[in-house]
Amino acid sequence: MYPVMLNLNGKSILIVGGGRIAKRKLSKLIGEGAHITVIAPEIDAWILNQDVHCIKRQFDLEDLSAFDMVFITTNDQAVNDVVYSKTSPQQLVNDCTNQTRSSFFNMASFIYDGMKIMISTEGQDASKSKQFKAHLLQLLSKG
């Protein structure tokens, strides 16, 4: 995988799913200038209170065509399979339930002394990235 930072300003992003994982992904996307849509039959209250387009219904095959980036975050494998199967090669896809079906992964990150520091396990273990991030922050805070 090639490490890169993306300018999301003006990009259209779809999050399929409205629960815990969708909330975590959205929290990192807010403020990046993207047009974000969340589609799910049930959407977390925090998500509903954000400046994003929320559609409370099941995913429909026609939902995909207008988006540059797609996050698949549901706990319904059948829905995840359908969403993934209908994405196009031009779309960046992050299937949060199956790393082998992702064209990119998110990294743990933080800002320290004007630098954005990112940690990646290349989709292998998000909790390991979080633990290492906490360890680095602790080391850096000791000066």
Per-residue DSSP letters for 97-129? T-GGG-S----EEEEETTEEEEE--TTS-HHHH
Among 96, 64, 76, which residue's Cα sits nearest to residue 55?
A: 64
Residues 85 and 131 in one domain: no
> Does 114 fall in a domain?
yes
> Does 2 fall in a domain?
no
Burial class (CB in 10 A: 0-12, 13-18, 19+), 72: buried
**pLDDT confidence of residue 17:** 98
Residues 94 and 120 in one domain: no
Residues 43 and 65 in one domain: yes
* pTM metric for this prediction: 0.89
Cα separation, 30 vs 34, in Å, equals 8
44 with 22: CB under 8 angstroms? Answer: yes
> Does 49 fall in a domain?
yes
**pLDDT confidence of residue 125:** 84
> Does 4 fall in a domain?
no
> Does 91 fall in a domain?
yes
The total number of structural domains that make up the chain:
2
Residues 93 and 33 in one domain: yes
Per-residue pLDDT of the chain (143 residues; tens, 9 = 90+): 788 889 999 999 999 999 999 999 999 999 999 999 999 999 999 999 999 999 999 999 999 989 999 999 999 999 999 999 999 999 999 999 888 999 998 888 999 999 999 998 887 888 898 899 999 999 998 86
Residues 20 and 70 in one domain: yes
**pLDDT confidence of residue 143:** 67
Domain enclosing residue 54, as ranges: 12-101
